[in-house]
Amino acid sequence: MAEAAVEFLLNNLKQLLAYNADLISSIKAHVESMYSDLGLLNTFVKGTSERRSNDSVVEELVRQIRIEVYKAEDIIDKYVSEAYTQKTRVGAAEVINVPDYLVKLRHVGRKIQDIRKHMKEIYDNKPFANDFFSRTEETIPRSLPCVDEENVFGFEKEAKKVVGCLKAETKELEVISVMGMGGVGKTTLAKKVYNDEDIQCNFPVRSWVYVSQVFNLKEVFLSILYDVTQVSRDASQWSVDTLAKELNRQLNDETYLIVLDDIWTKHAWDELKMAFPSNENGSRILITSRNKDVAIHANTSLGDPYQLRFLTDAESWELLKKKVFPKGTRCSRELENLGKQIARKCYGLPLAIVVIAGILKKMDKAPSSWEKVEKNVTTIEPKQCMEVLELSYKHLPYHLKACFLHFGVFPEDFEIPVRKLIHMWVAEGFIQPTRNTSLEEIAEENLLDLVDRNLVLIEQRRANGGIKTCRIHGMLHDMCVKKAEEENFFKEIKSLEQCIYKAVDLNVFRRVSVYSLASDCISSKHDYSHVRSFLCYGREKTVLNPSQIKCFSESFNLLRVLDAAPITFAMFPSAKLIHLRYIALSGTFNVLPEAVSNLWNLQTLIVNTTNCRNIEVKTDIWKLLQLRHVYTSAASVFPTSSSSSRKGGKDPLVNQNLITMSKVSPDSCTDEILVRTPNLQKLGVCGKLALLMEMKNGKCKFDNITGLRRLDKLKLVNYTYPISPFNVNAKLHALPNSLKFPPMLKKLTLSDTVLKWEQISVLGKLHGLEVLKLG
C-alpha cells in the first residue's frame, strides 16, 4: 500500500536525520533530497486515495511509486544496518577509513540518486495534478461512537422461533441447525438466542465457540471445557481423546447449551459431536453453517434446519435507517427515497446493508452524496456481496486503509486483542503522530472509526467499556486478503510449498503471515531481507535451536515487526536486528541479555518465558529511547545500580516514552528505577508485596510508586511461591494509606493479597478509581 509505505519511509528518514545522523553522514545530502521528493509524492498518493481505482493511469503511477519507495527503503535500511555493525566493530572514528565501507557508500549513493530521478519522473508526468490537489478531502471526526451488533434489526421473530425449538419439552439431546449464506446474519441470530433471558434460565451451563473453515479440534474442546468447568489450564497438554472424554463427563449431569458457530463440513461435525453426551435432560446444541448438507446432517430436531431468510425491502430500509440515523435524528423525504433504493439493491443481505450504512453515516447528508452511492451499488446477487464490501474499502480515508487491511494478517475468526493490534499498528507506521495526542490514542480512535463503519466486530469489552478484543467477519477477511495481495501489502503462507517454491513471488511482499510449518519457512535459507513483518499464527508449537535462530536473524535481517508467540526461542534473536520496533516471542531463557540494548528502534517488547518466576534484565532499557511498552510473563529484576545511571554527576538517564512496565519485581520498585519513567501509565508488580511496604529510613518502596504522577493502571500480584501468602513471613498485612496511591489512578487490580476485608475502606477513599479487580 503506497500511502503506508511513503508515510513510514518519511518518518523513518526524519528520525534518522534527527537522532542518528552520524550513521548516514556520508549520504546525508541524498537522504535530505529524497525526504523532500517523498513529501510531494505523499501529497499525491493521499490526494488520489479515493479516486485511483477508477483511473488506470493514476493506479499505475501509484504502483510505480510503491515499488520505488520499497527500493529506497531497502537500500537505506541495509545501509544503516551495515553502518551500525561497522561502527560497533571498529568505533565511530574509524568507520569512514575502511575501503570496503567507502565502496558500499558510493554504491548506495548512486542507487539513491537513480531512485530520486525515477521518482521525479513519475511525479512530473502525473496527469491532472491540479484537479487532485485542488480537491479538499472530506473531514472525518476523530471521536466516534461504537455500534452494538447485538441490536441488528429484523431477527426478532426468527429468534423467538429458535428459542421455542431450544425450549421444547423433549428430554433427548437435540441439535438445531441454522443455515444461510455468509453475511445473512446467522451469527447475529445465534447471539440473540444465546443471550435471551429465558435461554439463560433454562440452560445453566452454556458455551459459545467459533469453529470456522479451518479449525483445531483440541482448541474447540478446550474452549468449551474452560467455559463449563474450573478445569486447570494444564488441560492444554491433554490429548484430543482425553479432552473429549473429560468434556463428556463434565456435561453428563448438566442441562447444557453449546453453540457451534460456522461449521463448514460434515466431517467437522462428526468429530465434534463425540464430546457431547445425550443425557436425557433437555440439553441442546445450536449450530450455524453456510452449507445446507452440513445443517441437514447435524440437525436432529423434528423440523428441517432453520433457513435464515433475506430481509424484505421494508426491513432492509429499517436496518439501514437505524444504522445511519441515531435516535432522534431526522431523515428527509428525499434521503428516504434514495435510502430505500440503496437498501433494495443490497437484496436483503444484512451484512451488505450494514456495511453500506457505515459509508452513508460518514458522508454529508446531502442527496448528491447519496446519489453517488446509489449509482455505485450495482444490482447484487448474494454471491456478489464482495462488490459491496470492496465499495466500503474504497470509501475509507487513506489513514484507515492500511489499518483495515492489516486485519487480514490474522487467521479467519481470530479474536484479536486490541492492545496487540494497537501496538502493531504503531510499529508498522500506520499511525501518524499529532500534537497533544499519543500514538495509542490515535490508533484507538482509528479502531473505533472502523467499528463505527461496521467493518470490525467487538468481541469483548473491558470493565470500563473499552474494547478488549475484536475481529472481522469472514467475508471481510477474504476481501482483506484479496486486496492485500493485489497491493503487495502482505502474503499468507499456509504451506511449505508457498514458502519454498514461491520465494520469488514473495519478494514483493513486506509482510508474511505464516499459519503452519514456521520452522521450515525459517530454515529454507531464502533471502527475506525485503520482509519487514514476520507474523506466526500457526497452531503447532515450534522450538527453534540456536542454529535456526541464527538462520532466522540472517534471513530476516531488516525486520520491524516480529510476532512469534507459537515459536519457542532457546535464546534471544540476534541484536543485529536493529530495525525491530515490535517483538513478541516465547523463550526458555531467564535473562534479557545486554545485547538487546542495541535495538534502538524498539517500541514494544513482549517476552513470555517458561519455567522461571523472574527474568533478569541485563538490557539497559534506558538507552532504548523509543521504547514504549515492556511486558514479561515473569517478574523483571533490574540491576540495583547501573554504570549508565549517572554520567559525570548528571541526572540518571530517563525514558520519556515508556508508558507500560508489566511485570516488575517488588525488589526493582526502587527510586533509582522508577524515577526514570516519569510518564509511566501502566505498572504491574508481581512478587512478595510485603517488600513494597517495608520501612527503611522512614520510607518504603511503595512511595516510589506514589511518585508516578501519570500512572492510571496499577496491578499488584502477591506471588510468594513456594511459601503460602498466609505465611507470616510472606503475608501482606495492610494496604498503604489512600493518600499514597498515585493521584491519577483509575484502575487497580489486587491478586492473592489475602487482606482482611476491613482494608476495603482504604480503596473506598480512592476517589478517581473507576475499575477495581480483586483476585
Residue 260 scores a pLDDT above 70: yes
The 10s digit of each residue's pLDDT in 549-591 is: 888 888 888 899 999 888 888 888 877 888 999 999 988 888 9
Same domain? For 181 and 233 the reply is: yes
| CA–CA gap between residue 65 and residue 487 (Å, rounded) | 12
The 10s digit of each residue's pLDDT in 375-398 is: 877 544 445 567 767 777 887 888
pLDDT confidence of residue 647: 46
Same domain? For 301 and 333 the reply is: no
Same domain? For 177 and 301 the reply is: yes
| CA–CA gap between residue 41 and residue 3 (Å, rounded) | 9
| CA–CA gap between residue 176 and residue 298 (Å, rounded) | 8
The 10s digit of each residue's pLDDT in 57-67 is: 667 777 777 77
Same domain? For 126 and 160 the reply is: no
Same domain? For 206 and 122 the reply is: no
The 10s digit of each residue's pLDDT in 629-684 is: 999 999 999 987 544 444 445 556 888 999 999 999 999 999 999 999 999 999 99
Same domain? For 36 and 167 the reply is: no
| CA–CA gap between residue 504 and residue 518 (Å, rounded) | 18
Nearest to 150 by CA among 112, 183, 196: 196
The residue out of 441, 475, 509 marking a domain boundary is: 475
Has residue 341 been placed in a domain?
A: yes
- Residues in Cβ contact with 424 at an 8 Å cutoff, skipping those fewer than 6 apart: 406, 561, 563, 582
The 10s digit of each residue's pLDDT in 69-89 is: 787 778 778 878 877 777 766
- Report the SS3 class of residue 3: helix
Question: Is the model more confident about 50 or about 739?
Answer: 739
Has residue 68 been placed in a domain?
A: yes
The 10s digit of each residue's pLDDT in 598-607 is: 898 999 999 9
Domain total of the chain: 3
pLDDT confidence of residue 674: 93
Has residue 423 been placed in a domain?
A: yes
DSSP state of 234: G
| CA–CA gap between residue 221 and residue 241 (Å, rounded) | 10
Residue 333 scores a pLDDT above 70: yes
**Domain membership of residue 169 as a residue range:** 155-307
Residues 698 and 729 sit within 8 Å (Cβ to Cβ): no
Residue 742 scores a pLDDT above 90: yes
Nearest to 687 by CA among 614, 737, 760, 622: 614
Question: Is the model more confident about 744 or about 41?
Answer: 744
196: domain CATH number is 3.40.50.300
SS3 of 69-119: HHHHHHHHHHHHHHHHHHHHHHCHHHHHHCHHHHHHHHHHHHHHHHHHHHH
Residue 319 scores a pLDDT above 60: yes
Strand order in the sheet with 416-417: 416-417, 467-471, 457-461
Letter for the amino acid at 238?
Answer: W
| CA–CA gap between residue 348 and residue 309 (Å, rounded) | 8
Averaged pLDDT for residues 106-133:
59
Same domain? For 172 and 233 the reply is: yes
Cα 712 off chain centre by: 22
- Which range among 22-36, 208-222, 600-614 shows the weakest confidence by mean pLDDT? 22-36
Has residue 317 been placed in a domain?
A: no
Same domain? For 285 and 385 the reply is: no
Has residue 533 been placed in a domain?
A: no
Same domain? For 120 and 240 the reply is: no
Same domain? For 401 and 442 the reply is: yes
Has residue 716 been placed in a domain?
A: no
Cα 397 off chain centre by: 20
Has residue 244 been placed in a domain?
A: yes
Averaged pLDDT for residues 291-314:
85
Residue 525 scores a pLDDT above 50: yes
Nearest to 774 by CA among 750, 752, 755, 753: 750
Same domain? For 186 and 267 the reply is: yes
| CA–CA gap between residue 132 and residue 134 (Å, rounded) | 6
Residue 151 scores a pLDDT above 50: no
Has residue 561 been placed in a domain?
A: no
Residues 453 and 429 sit within 8 Å (Cβ to Cβ): no
Same domain? For 343 and 464 the reply is: yes
Mean pLDDT, all residues of the chain: 81
Residues 428 and 531 sit within 8 Å (Cβ to Cβ): no
Q: What is the DSSP string of 581-597?
A: -EEEEEES-SEE-GGGG
- Report the SS3 class of residue 661: strand
The 10s digit of each residue's pLDDT in 455-502 is: 888 889 998 889 999 998 877 888 898 888 888 888 877 655 555 444
pLDDT confidence of residue 745: 96
The residue out of 413, 446, 475 marking a domain boundary is: 475
The 10s digit of each residue's pLDDT in 505-515 is: 445 688 888 87
For the chain, what percent of residues have pLDDT higher than 70?
Answer: 81
- Taking each continuous run of H as one helix and of E as one strand, the counts in the chain are 29, 23
Question: Quick one: cell of 273?
Answer: 459431536
